[in-house]
Amino acid sequence: MITVKDGWAVQSFGYRRYLPLGRPECLAENLDRWGIDEIIVLSIDRTRRHAGPDFALVRRLGGLGLLTPVAYGGGIRSASDAGKVIEAGAERVCLDALLRRDRGEVSAVAALVGSQAVIGVLPLSAQAGRLFWHDYLSRADDELSAGDLSPFTDGIVSEALIIDRIHEGGPHPFDESLVDGFPTGVPLIAFGGLHDPEQIGRVFAHERVVACAVGNPFSYREHAVQHLRRALPASEIRDPQFRMD
């Protein structure tokens, strides 16, 4: 996971504080070389700034000749935006604000690029056994309802990227109750506070979880990807294919 703010890759601390890491392209090149399965790039300030998707960034990523699939999210307002993001070089798009604000357009995105190329982003927290969906524009937390999940359960959006927004970038681990308490039938990508191999292995083993996304830990330790892969049960991951050039 590469979190981008103001055009720079950043280390995020619960989406409240940020530390610059460098150019997103440099991080993407490293992840590509290390044989990661997929690179997710989230430009977290595009919707708030009404700036639309960062097409220039996606084009730069597309121009790198990465051999790893890229999913891009941030500022996507319409099917047209999503189509241009794919043309610019991403394989999948991540929708966040659009999921809350325009379900019709979410369907239009899926009709254009295919549901399999659409990931829905859900920043969540768990309180008293209930799940709350954070709206980072209004900063409100609303209890997640069955209606909220209809784009997923109706097959319009293929996977949910659930972000533990409380523990993202913090010292505490991913809250597994987000996965345990999530309604059935939606494939999940878990993110936020996932750094302990033992926990990642446990989350991976959950039948609803199709992927675990890791952000900050890959930026601060040499060979972090390789170390993590070695620590995970072989049955949960494919053999890595490191680039030798």
Partner 1 sequence: MKITVGIVDYGIGNQSSVQHVLGSVGFRCRISDDPGVLDGCDLLVLPGVGAFRPAMEALRARALDRYLGDWAANGRPLMGICLGMQLLANVSYENGVEPGLSLIPGEVRSMGTGRWHIGWNTIECATDDPLFAPSDGQTFFFNHSYVYDGPPEFEVARAQVGGPVASAIRRGAIVGMQFHPEKSQTAGRALLQRLVTGLCGA
Site of interaction with partner 1 (CB under 8 A): 35, 37-38, 62-69, 83, 86-92, 111-117, 153-155, 158-159, 185, 187, 210-211, 238-239, 241-244
Q: How far is the CB of 203 from partner 1 (least distance, A)?
A: 16
Calculate the CA 136 to chain-centre distance: 15
The answer to whether 55 touches 85, Cβ cutoff 8 Å, is yes
Residue with Cβ nearer partner 1 (56 or 67): 67
Residue 58 vs 179, nearer CB to partner 1: 58
- For the chain, report the end-to-end CA distance as a whole number of angstroms: 23
Nearer to partner 1, 117 or 179 (CB): 117
Q: Distance between CA atoms of 179 and 108, rounded to whole angstroms? A: 28
Task: Please report how the helices 79-88 and 103-113 are oriented relative to each other, as an axis angle in degrees rounded to 10.
Answer: 40
On the 0-12 / 13-18 / 19+ scale of CB atoms within 10 A, 17 is exposed
CB of 154 to partner 1, least distance (A): 8
Minimum distance from residue 181 beta carbon to partner 1 (Å): 21
Cα–Cα distances (Å) from 223 to 33, 159, 170, 215, in that order, read 11, 28, 21, 14
Q: In whole angstroms, how close is the CB of 118 to partner 1 at the nearest point?
A: 10
d(CA 50, CA 34): 34
Strands 188-191 and 159-164: parallel
**At closest approach, how far in Å is the CB of 100 from partner 1?**
21
Nearer to partner 1, 29 or 45 (CB): 29
Beta bridge partners of 102: none
Shortest distance (Å) from residue 156 CB to partner 1: 9
Q: Are 166 and 194 in contact (CB under 8 A)?
A: no
User: Closer to partner 1 at the Cβ: 86 or 163?
Assistant: 86
Residue 22 or 63 with smaller CB distance to partner 1: 63
